Amino acid sequence: MSKIKAFIGRSVARLITSTDAQKFRQSLHALRRRSVGRAPTVHYFHQPDDPYSQLLARCLPTLQSRYAISIVYHVVPPPDAAAAPDIERLRAWSLRDAKRLASALSGLPLEATAAASQAVSDTALAQGAARRKQLGHYLGATLYFEGEWYWGVDRLHYLEARLANAGLRLGTPPHSTQPHCIVPPRALQFKTVSAAVSPRPVIHFYCSLRSPYTYLAAPQVRELANHYGAELRLRFVLPMVMRGLPVPLPKRLYILRDTKREADRLGQPFGLVVDPVGKPVENGLALLHAAIKTGQGSALLESFLQGVFAQGLDASSVGGLQQIASRAGMSAADVAAALSDDGWRAVAETNRADMLERGIWGVPSFRVNEMPLLWGQDRLWMLEEDLITALRA
């Protein structure tokens, strides 16, 4: 990658994820709304056969009662193949995940998918899809408010905070900006578990070097493994786009902005991005493959991800790659030896096949022993629950 291309990539990503730019956009939207006397409006995109939509829809009456907003409902079809390239696995995972999520949310009931699917006209679906596309998204169970998107109950707390900061909370002093938090983010507990098992539980961590969500998850997975005495096995795979799966522009933009707000919540730097797609990823996986053998896998994984997503390092350059490697304890000779070994390709393919067989096609995903595979850094609390279950079994 040329220095100019890397510079442009860093600059664009910095602008997309800029907190100052975000605040400016929010202020501009609010100014436009007030100037024409329009009521604050939240657009909700409901996919009738989507379990996440069913969960989110049950929270909206409470949201409506707490804030001076109008909620406009749109029905939408499932995402197209470009946005959701493995739709059958997505359907199966969504139902399994949403049931467990509903159970954790104070027993919030989840209707059966078939019962929740109601007759919706093709015209209404087409209109909803067109509006969703116009505003810049691709999924159901999404909320849009004045330039920003919020997916599912997992991001509802961000919308609440936004509405509270905008002074739209009902029944409270104007200066109050504390949201009610219908569904607060699930924090890791790091509990004390006295029971011990032998052999110790194993965390299988399916990861990619081009996934910003993997960047967020990696240190947390390592901390969970250390705290609960689990063995951490890194199961790296090629990025989706390098496996022939498309990642459309609206999806990339949403992921960047969503990762930024999650990174801010977790206290992780994010935004100086140089996309490592292609040869940089291949070189990084060669280093990771070698580092795993010497017990430096986690250090290399986190060094690479932090370099390309938070520090603007160009992993295609000799200097950038060496800086990433040296922080993980790898010498120049180690790097040269790793890059001459193509053995990582077979391992990546084995991991990909195993991940697909277990019903998941994307990263970050993880499982404890032979328990069901979990997907997404939002589900690390489920991983922790599974660890505790394994230790107490």
Percent of all residues in the chain with a pLDDT value above 70, rounded to a whole number? 94
Q: Is the pLDDT of residue 107 over 60?
A: no
Residue with tokens 């539980």: 201
What confidence score (pLDDT) does residue 174 get? Answer: 58
Cα–Cα distance list, 134 to 137, 138, 175 (Å): 8, 10, 34
Dist. CA 130–CA 284, nearest whole Å: 40
pLDDT of 113: 40
Give the pTM.
Answer: 0.93
The encoded tokens of residue 114 equal: 């078939």
Please report the pLDDT score of residue 116 as a whole number: 45
Which residue from 138, 213, 150, 137 is spatially nearest to 182, judged by alpha carbons?
Answer: 150
b/e per residue 358-371 (b: at least 16 CB within 10 A): bbbbbbbbbbbbeb
pLDDT > 90? residue 289 = yes
* pLDDT grade for 111, boundaries at 50, 70 and 90: low
**Would you state the pLDDT for residue 92?**
95
Q: For 349-365, what is the mean pLDDT?
A: 97
Domains, the chain, ranges and CATH? Answer: 39-165 (3.40.30.10), 202-392 (3.40.30.10)
Alpha carbon distance 314, 26 (integer Å):
32
Q: Is the pLDDT of residue 112 over 50?
A: no
Read off the pLDDT of residues 150-207 as tens digits, 9 standing for 90 and up.
999 999 999 999 999 999 999 866 556 667 778 888 899 999 987 667 889 999 999 9
